[in-house]
Amino acid sequence: MARGPSKFDRLVHLLNLLRSRRQLTAPRLVEELGVHVRSIYRYVQSLSEMGVPVYYDRGYKVATDAFLPPLNFTADEYNVLRLLLSASVVARHPTYRDLAGQITAKIDAAASEQATGSAPTTYLDSPTSYRPETVSRWYRDLEHATAEQLVVTLDYESISTGQTTREVEPHFIVFRGRSFYLVAYCRWREDFRTFRIDRVRGLSITERMFQRRSGVSPETYFEGAWGVATGQSVEVVVRFTGIAARIVRLGHYHERQQIEDEGDGAIRYSVTVNGTTEITRWIMGFGPEAEVIAPEDLRQAVRSSVVAMAARYVD
C-alpha cells in the first residue's frame, strides 16, 4: 500500500506555499496539506526552529527572498502553467494530485509578483469516469513495468469477454476520453489492445523483459479511431436533419470528417473511422434526426437497435 507524504515532504511543501506570498491561514493550509490544524502549527514551529523566518500577517508568510531568485515568467506563461497543473485530469489523478500541488506551490513561490498579479480567465474541467481508487492501486506498478519493459500478467474485466488472465507487454499509458488506458501487446490476442486501468482486477510483474515493438506510439496509435476503440477502417455516411444537423454542422468531431449541405436544412456527414462501436452510440444519440446511409451492415445494426428499443416502450 502506498504511504502518504513524509513530514519532510510536507515541510518542503509548506515552505513553498509560504514563499508564494499568499495570505495562507491555518485552515487554508489544512486544505492544501491534508493534515490536522495542530500539525500546521507544529510544521510552522519546525520551520522557525530551522531558521526559516516565518511570520503572520493576515496569513503565514516567509520574511525573505533569499531562497531562490524569481522565475522570469510573463503573466501569460504563468497562467498557462497554472492552468495545466490545475486541470481536472491532473488535479484529480490519485498518483499525481499531490505532486501537482507541490509543483504549483514551487512555481508560485519563485515567480515574480508581476507574473502572479493577474487573475486567471480560463479554467479546464475535463469530465472523468474512472474510479480513482482502482487506478491508484495499479498505476505505479504499470508505470514501472512500462519503463523497465517487463511482461505483466493481467487479470482484466473485459466488457465483451468478462474476466480473463493474459500476459501483456505494456508500451504506454494514456488519458483519452474520460479515463486512463494501458496500451499493450496482448500475447493471448497476438495484437495490441487497449486496457482501461480501472477494469484491472489483478496484476503481477514478471522478471521477463520484452522488446518494444516498432510503429506504435501515443501520437499515432489512435489515428482514425472515433474514441478509444479501434477496428477495421470503414467509411460511415449519416444524414442529419433538424437540430441535429445544426449541431453537427457547427462542430468538429473527427479529423477526417466531411460535411455536405443538402439544401433543405439537412446535411450529409461522411467520416472514415477505425471501428464503428463508438460512432454508433454517437449516431443513436441524435435519435430520429440521424439516418445511417452507409455502410449497409451499420444501417441494419442501428435499425435492429431502434426496433428493439421501441419494443420496450410498447404498452
Binning pLDDT at 50, 70 and 90, where does residue 64 land?
low
Average pLDDT, stretch 271-299? Answer: 96
Q: 222: which residues sit within 8 A by CB, 6+ positions away? A: 176, 228, 230
pTM value is: 0.71
Which CATH number describes the domain made up of 132-209? 2.30.30
Q: Which residues make up the CATH 2.30.30 domain(s) of the chain? A: 132-209
How high is the pLDDT of residue 4?
A: 60
Higher pLDDT, 66 or 154: 154
Conformational region of residue 37, where left means phi above 0, alpha means psi within -120 to 50, and beta covers everything else:
alpha
**Pairing mode of beta strands 191-196, 200-209:** unpaired
| Cα distances (angstroms) measured from residue 179 to each of 83, 129, 170, 289 | 20, 6, 17, 30
Which range (68-77, 172-181, 197-206) has the least confidence? 68-77
Query: Which of 69, 33, 67 lies closest to 50 in space, CA to CA?
Result: 67
DSSP 151: E
Above 50 in pLDDT, residue 2? no
Mean of the pLDDT values across residues 234-254? 97
